[in-house]
């Protein structure tokens, strides 16, 4: 068995145990802000689409958990966000230009494949739909590849990427994102597992064909729907 395959299998076993409630997600061996009361309450709530607010196998946190990854630069002065590929008007925004488009605020829930969910936080930024409209996405485009620092990518079907809740975000709870959470800006795709919400974002590439991203090529599910528990392929 290769080392890479062994790591994938170990990861699958870890997440299976989380789903059964037998593993503890922690930082330094301690609970990382889990709330059993919040989890129980959210499990009884329904979303407008009829699905439970808390997806299966998830537990609610009280603050956003840093999930690692090789950090990109947090400097706003060097930030650039490119929209290109199957578009009429390729665009590139500096951080100042991105913010100048206008800050939208949305109260959203996010769900990590490792079993935690952060509920009801206010995120600020600009919608991906608005950026796509500015670039003039061509009718041939079917997928969006989210690009981030050090070559990280995540993929989404175009219709999923352009959902109204999806954003390029630079604030949470009224405060600028910290470097551990993707500063100066990150993607925010709340209805998919959180690895699709790429931190330290650098670009959105529109294209006709699908292209699996960093985690999708390492055994994670291509769609990543938390309510279907699409954790692994």
Average confidence (pLDDT) over 140-153: 98
Contact indicator for 111, 53 with CB cutoff of 8 Å = no
* Sequence ranges of the domains in the chain: 34-228
Please answer whether residues 64 and 142 qualify as being in contact, where contact means their C-beta atoms are separated by less than 8 angstroms: no
Number of neighbours of residue 102 by Cβ within 10 angstroms: 9
Return the pLDDT at 17: 45
34-228 belongs to CATH 3.90.420.10: yes
Task: State the Cα–Cα distance between residues 86 and 139, nearest whole angstrom.
Answer: 8
pLDDT band at 33 (very low <50, low <70, confident <90, very high): confident
DSSP string computed for 114-146:
TSEEEEEEEEEEEEHHHHHHHHTB-TT--EEEE
Dist. CA 74–CA 177, nearest whole Å:
9
| CA distance linking residue 21 with residue 177, whole number of Å | 30
pLDDT exceeds cutoff 50 at 26 = no
Going by pLDDT thresholds of 50, 70 and 90, the confidence category of residue 166 is very high
Kindly report, residue by residue over 76-128, the tens digit of the pLDDT.
Answer: 999 999 999 999 999 999 999 999 999 999 999 999 999 999 999 999 999 99
Helix (H, G, I), strand (E, B) or coil at 153: strand
Mean pLDDT of 209-227: 98
pLDDT for residue 233: 92
SS3 label, residue 160: helix
What are the structure tokens assigned to 31, written together? 């609970």
Q: What is the pLDDT of residue 206?
A: 98
Average pLDDT over residues 22-32: 37
Whole-angstrom CA distances from 47 to 22, 42, 94, 173 are: 27, 10, 35, 21
**How far apart (Å, rounded) are the C-alpha atoms in residues 212 and 191?**
18
Q: In percent, how much of the chain has pLDDT > 90?
A: 85
State yes or no: pLDDT of 212 exceeds 60: yes
Which pTM does this prediction carry? 0.88
Q: Which H or E element spans position 9?
A: helix 3-19
Q: Is the pLDDT of residue 2 over 50?
A: yes
């Amino acid at each position: 068995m290769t080392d890479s395959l062994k790591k994938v299998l170990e990861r699958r076993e870890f997440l299976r145990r989380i789903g059964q409630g037998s593993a503890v997600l922690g930082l330094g061996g301690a609970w990382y802000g889990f709330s059993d009361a919040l989890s129980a309450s959210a499990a009884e709530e329904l979303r407008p689409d009829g699905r439970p607010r808390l997806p299966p196998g998830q537990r609610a946190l009280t603050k956003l958990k840093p999930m690692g990854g090789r950090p990109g630069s947090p400097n706003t002065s060097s930030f650039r966000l490119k929209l290109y590929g199957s578009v009429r008007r390729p665009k590139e925004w500096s951080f100042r230009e991105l913010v100048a488009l206008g800050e939208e605020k949305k109260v959203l829930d996010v769900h990590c494949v490792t079993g935690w969910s952060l509920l009801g936080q206010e995120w600020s930024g600009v919608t991906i739909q608005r950026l796509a409209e500015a670039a003039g996405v061509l009718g041939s485009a079917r997928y969006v590849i989210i690009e981030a620092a050090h070559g990280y990518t995540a993929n989404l079907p175009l219709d999923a990427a352009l959902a109204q809740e999806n954003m390029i975000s630079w604030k949470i709870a009224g405060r600028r994102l910290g470097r551990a959470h993707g500063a100066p800006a990150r993607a925010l795709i709340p209805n998919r597992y959180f690895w699709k919400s790429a931190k330290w974002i650098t670009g959105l590439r529109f294209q006709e064909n699908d292209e699996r991203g960093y985690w999708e090529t390492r055994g994670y599910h291509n769609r990543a729907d938390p309510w279907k528990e699409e954790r692994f392929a």
